[in-house]
Amino acid sequence: MNLYEELTEYGHKDIYPYHMPGHKRKEQSFLPKKTALIDLTEVQGTDNLHAPTGILKDAQEYCAEVTGADHSYFLINGSTAGVISAIFAAVSEGGKLIIVRNAHKSAYHGMALRNAIPAYIYPETEKKWGFCKAVTPDEIGKAMEENPDAEAVFIVSPTYEGCLCKVEEIAKIAHLRGIPLIVDEAHGAHLPYLGGKYSACRAGADIVIQSTHKTLPAPTQTALLHVNGSLIKKDRIERYLRVFQSSSPSYPLMAGIDGAVRLMAARGGELLETLENNYAGLVSKINNELKYISAYPFCKGINDAGKLLLSASDGNNIFMTGTELSEILRNEYGAETEMSSERSVLAMFTVSDDWEAYKRLFDALTKIDETLRKKAENGCTGTVITEYDDIPRPKIALPPGSAWKTESEEIPVEESVGRISEEIVGLYPPGTPLLAMGEIIEREHVELIKRYIGEKLEVSGIKDGMISVLKGEGLSKPI
Amino acid sequence: MNLYEELTEYGHKDIYPYHMPGHKRKEQSFLPKKTALIDLTEVQGTDNLHAPTGILKDAQEYCAEVTGADHSYFLINGSTAGVISAIFAAVSEGGKLIIVRNAHKSAYHGMALRNAIPAYIYPETEKKWGFCKAVTPDEIGKAMEENPDAEAVFIVSPTYEGCLCKVEEIAKIAHLRGIPLIVDEAHGAHLPYLGGKYSACRAGADIVIQSTHKTLPAPTQTALLHVNGSLIKKDRIERYLRVFQSSSPSYPLMAGIDGAVRLMAARGGELLETLENNYAGLVSKINNELKYISAYPFCKGINDAGKLLLSASDGNNIFMTGTELSEILRNEYGAETEMSSERSVLAMFTVSDDWEAYKRLFDALTKIDETLRKKAENGCTGTVITEYDDIPRPKIALPPGSAWKTESEEIPVEESVGRISEEIVGLYPPGTPLLAMGEIIEREHVELIKRYIGEKLEVSGIKDGMISVLKGEGLSKPI
C-alpha cells in the first residue's frame, strides 16, 4: 500500500478524532472530501514525520532505496526548507561556503541566517540567450583553490533552464578536500529514474534537494532531501528539518510525495522516455519548420528534456521580447508558460503532459511564426541579436547576515549608486541576483535595473522604483 | 467568491499549464481531482503569496478585517513559521526576550536561530491536574522589572489545555515600556469570532499567531499571523515569512485558510455558541453523573470551550493513568484523543463536531466509569492524588543558540547530572520543556525523565535512554 492508501484506510476506520485538525476529517466547501479524509495528525498508526517509526519511516526508506540515497526525507515546506537545512548542516556559524551565483533565494536566506561568508562562482552566461549556464568542474576547482577555508560547495543542477552540471566530477573535487557537496536538484526530481548517474545522489553528492512538485506529479510545496556518505551528520540535518518545517506537517502533501516517488519507481523509465521523445520532437520541429521562432537545442546529458526555451528569433534577429511572446501565447492561445525574460520564454513539460500538450504549443507557435513572417515581408527586420555580457559582479561590503542586521532605508534606484543593497535584487524567476544582501550598487546595476523595469520585467527587491539600502557611513568598502 | 472558488474557476479555464506543478492539474491516484485542479502556481491571475497584489491580497485583507487585525498573513508552514518570524521581527540578534516556559518548541528554535537571550517566566502548575496555567499580568510585570533590557514579551494564550491569559492587561504592561507583545494564539484561531476582546488581536497584542488547523476546519499545516500597531515593522515580518516559508506555497492550503475564515465570519457566532453549549453540557454531565471520571471545570473567559481535560479520578483518588485511559478510549471505544499524560487525557472539540461526537465520548466514559465502579466495589482504592510541584527550573549555562554551536555527545540519562542539555527535553505535546538547549541537568530532572519513561510517556529529546549533552570542560556554570 502507498501512503495515500494507508491514510485513506485509516480515515475510513471507525475511530472518532477528538483531536486536531479542526475539520475532523469532514468535507468542507473549500476542502474536498478525499483530501479531508486523509488530512490527519500524529496519532497512533499515522506516525510522526519529525520522529518517524512507522508508515512515514517506511515511505522515506522506500524513497531512499529507489533514488539511490542513504537517507531520504519528505519535505512539506518545499525545497526552501531543504536548502536552508542543508546549509545549516554543512556550514558552521560564520563559515565559508563556495556557492554558485545562480542559487535560489532560499540559499541566500540560509547564508544570512547562518552568518555564512559566501564565495560566489559566477557561471558563464549563454551569450545569445542570456541565461546562466551550468557551473563547470574547472570553475569549482578554481574556487576551491582560492578558498581553502571553505566548508562546503553548493551548486544548482539542473539549472532553472535545464543545464546539467558534471556532478560526479564536482563531487570528486570537493571530496578530495574532504568537504561536502550540496546539490540543489530542485529541477531534477525525475533524474533518478533516468538510470545511470544523471541524478546527483548517484553521482556522489552529499546532500541533494529535489522539488517533487516541479518535475514530478506531486503537489506544490513538496520536496525531498537526500543525504549520502558520512560528511554530513544525519542528526544535524534532522534537527534543522524540524526547525524549518511545521510541527504539524500535512499528510496530503506527504502522500503526494510518496505517490509520485512510487509512480516513478514503477513506470518512470517508460514515462521519461516518452517525455524525451515528445520533447526532442518538438524542439526539432520548431527549429526545422519555423523560421521566426527558435528553441534552445536539446543535447542529452548536457541539458534536460522538459525545459523548453523559446525565442521569437530567426537566430540573427529578434522580433519580439520574451514577455511579448508569452503574452501572445497566454492571451491568444491559452498557453501559460513558466517564465519570460528579455529574449526568451520558458515552457515546461513533465511526465504528465501528453502529446496534445506538445501539439497545442506547436500549433500556437506555428501561427505566431506565420504572423511574424508576414511582418517580415512587410519590412519588419526585428533587432539584431547582440551577445550578452556576463552579469556584473558586485563587490561585497558585508556578508548577507550582517547586512540584515544593519539599519536600512528606502531610496530611489537612481540615487543608489555607491550604497549597499539590503535585499536580493534581480529577475525572479530565474533569480540569479544582480545584487545580493550587503553588496555595493554600481552604475551598471542601476542601468540594468532601469532597463528591466522599462521592459516591464518583474525585478524583485524593487518596489515602485525604490530600493532598500543600508544606512551608515563608511560601509561601502569591499571586504 | 472565496479563494477556493476563484482557484477552481481558474482551474477550469482553457489555459494549458506549460509550467509547474508537474502534475499539470491532473488527478493522480494519490492526488484527488478537486485538489489537483486548484494546486496552481504563481501565474497571471493566481497572485503570489510572497508579494500579493490580487486574489491573495484580497483574501488576506478580508481576514484582517474580520479578525480585527491591521494586517493578516496566510501561513502555509504552520504556526511554526509564524512564531519564528515573529521572534526575528521583534527581537534583534542577541537581544533579550521575556518568554513563558510553556512556549511551543518553535519559539525555542526561533530563539536559537536569533541567538536571543531568554528570560523565562514559569507560570504556576495546576496542583491537581499537573498542567501549566496561563501566565498572569503580575508575572509579566515582575519579569519586565527584572529584565529592563528585554525587547519583547512572548506568551501563549490559550495554552495547550485551554487556559486564557489576560491579554489586554499584559499588552498594556508591555506597551508601557514600549515593547511589543507576541501572542502565540495557536490554539485560539476561533477566538475572534466570539466577539468582545477574547482574541489577542482585539486585546492589543502586536503579533498574533493562530493555527487555523487546530480549532477551525482548515487543513493541517495552515495558520495565520496578524500584525497590529506600529511597534513591529511590517516589512520585517514580511521578509522573515518569505525566509521561513516555501517559495512555492500550496494553493489548496491557502484556500483552506480562506475558506475557514469566511465560514467563521459568516456563521462563527452561531457555531461557537453550539460548541460551547455542547461542551459545557458534556463537562457538566461528566462531573455530575460519573463518579470515577472527572473533567476539568469550564469557566467562560478563564478557559476555552473545546479543550476537555479528563482524568480517571473521583477528585481524591486516581484509578488509572492518562495513558491507560486514552488506550481504553482508543482500543475499546474508537475514540482517539489529542494527548495523554500522567494523570489526564485531553480531548478536543471544534465547530466541526456535532452532538453525536459528544454523546459517543460520554457513552464511552460512562462505561469506563461503570468498570471503575465495579473495581472500587471489589476493593480497588486507586492512588491518592498528591499535589504537583512546580516544574524544576533549570539553570541556564548557555543561551539556546550558543548551545547549538557547541560540540555534543550522547550519554545515558543516568550519567547526565551536571552536564548541559543540547536539545529540548520534555513531554511533547504539550511541550513545556523540562530542559531547554544549554541548561544544566540536575538530579531532579533525571529523576523526572526516568519517571516519565517508566510511565511509557513520550519524552522528546531522549532516545533509547540516551541524552545529547555538550562537550567541554567548565561549561556547566550558570550564566
- Output helix, strand, coil percentages for chain A, rounded to the nearest 5: 40, 20, 40
Please count the residues of chain B: 479
Q: CB-based contact (8 Å) between B253 and chain A?
A: yes
Q: In this complex, do B19 and A423 lie within 8 Å of one another by their Cβ atoms?
A: no
Identify all chain B residues contacting A28, using CB atoms and an 8 Å cutoff. Answer: 217, 256, 259-260, 263
Please name the member of A3, A32, A76 whose beta carbon is closest to the beta carbon of B35: A32
pLDDT tens-digit map of A243-286: 999 999 999 999 999 999 999 999 999 999 999 999 999 999 99
Q: Report how far Cα A448 is from the mean position of its chain's Cα atoms.
A: 23
pLDDT tens-digit map of B8-19: 999 999 999 999
Distance separating the N- and C-terminal Cα atoms of chain B: 56
Query: For chain B, how many helices (H) and strands (E)?
Result: 14, 21
Cα distances (angstroms) measured from residue B53 to each of A324, B44, B45 = 21, 11, 10
pLDDT tens-digit map of A188-212: 999 999 988 889 999 999 999 999 9
User: Which strands, in side-by-side order, build the sheet including B466-470?
Assistant: B408-412, B466-470, B462-463
Residue A72: which region, alpha, beta or left (left: phi > 0; alpha: psi -120 to 50)?
beta
Mutate to test the interface with B, among A23, A234, A423, A456 (most CBs of B within 10 A): A23
Q: In this complex, do A19 and B212 lie within 8 Å of one another by their Cβ atoms?
A: no
Concatenate the DSSP letters of all residues of A59-117 into one string: HHHHHHHHHT-SEEEEESSHHHHHHHHHHHHHS-TT-EEEEETT--HHHHHHHHHHT-E
pLDDT(B241) > 60: yes
pLDDT(B189) > 80: yes
Average pLDDT over residues A419-436: 90
pLDDT(B324) > 60: yes
Q: In this complex, do B334 and A15 lie within 8 Å of one another by their Cβ atoms?
A: yes
Q: How many CB atoms lie within 10 A of CB B364?
A: 18
Please name the member of A77, A217, A347 whose beta carbon is closest to the beta carbon of B28: A217
Q: CB-based contact (8 Å) between A265 and chain B?
A: no
Asked if A67 and A224 touch (Cβ cutoff 8 Å), the reply is yes
Q: What is the pLDDT of residue B478?
A: 64
Alpha carbons A408 and B298: distance in angstroms, whole number: 49
Q: In this complex, do A239 and B423 lie within 8 Å of one another by their Cβ atoms?
A: yes
pLDDT tens-digit map of A208-254: 999 999 999 999 999 999 999 999 999 999 999 999 999 999 999 99
pLDDT tens-digit map of B219-232: 999 999 999 999 99
Alpha carbons B89 and B299: distance in angstroms, whole number: 35
Q: What is the pLDDT of residue A473?
A: 60
Q: Shortest Cα distance from A294 to chain B (angstroms)? A: 17
Q: Shortest Cα distance from A78 to chain B (angstroms)? A: 5
Q: CB-based contact (8 Å) between B383 and chain A?
A: no
pLDDT(A474) > 60: no
Average pLDDT over residues B383-399: 91
Give the residue among A276, A456, A436 at the shortest CA–CA distance from A351. A276
Asked if A301 and A164 touch (Cβ cutoff 8 Å), the reply is yes
Q: How many CB atoms lie within 10 A of CB B8?
A: 16
Average pLDDT over residues B133-143: 98
Instruction: Compute and round to an integer the Cα radius of gyration of chain B.
Output: 23
Q: In this complex, do B4 and A29 lie within 8 Å of one another by their Cβ atoms?
A: yes
Q: CB-based contact (8 Å) between B392 and chain A?
A: no
Please name the member of A93, A105, A189 whose beta carbon is closest to the beta carbon of B405: A93
Which of helix, strand or coil describes residue B339? strand
Mean pLDDT of chain A: 96
Burial, B63: exposed, middle or buried (Cβ in 10 Å; 0-12, 13-18, 19+)? buried
Closest-CA residue of chain B to A31: B256
pLDDT tens-digit map of B245-299: 999 999 999 999 999 999 999 999 999 999 999 999 999 999 999 999 999 999 9
Identify all chain B residues contacting A19, using CB atoms and an 8 Å cutoff. Answer: 336-339, 347-348
Its ipTM equals 0.97
pLDDT(A83) > 80: yes
Give the residue among B235, B233, B185 at the shortest CA–CA distance from B205. B185
pLDDT(B30) > 60: yes
**At which residue does the C-alpha cell 507560570 appear?**
B123
Q: In this complex, do B250 and A221 lie within 8 Å of one another by their Cβ atoms?
A: yes
Please name the member of B16, B244, B256 whose beta carbon is closest to the beta carbon of A335: B16
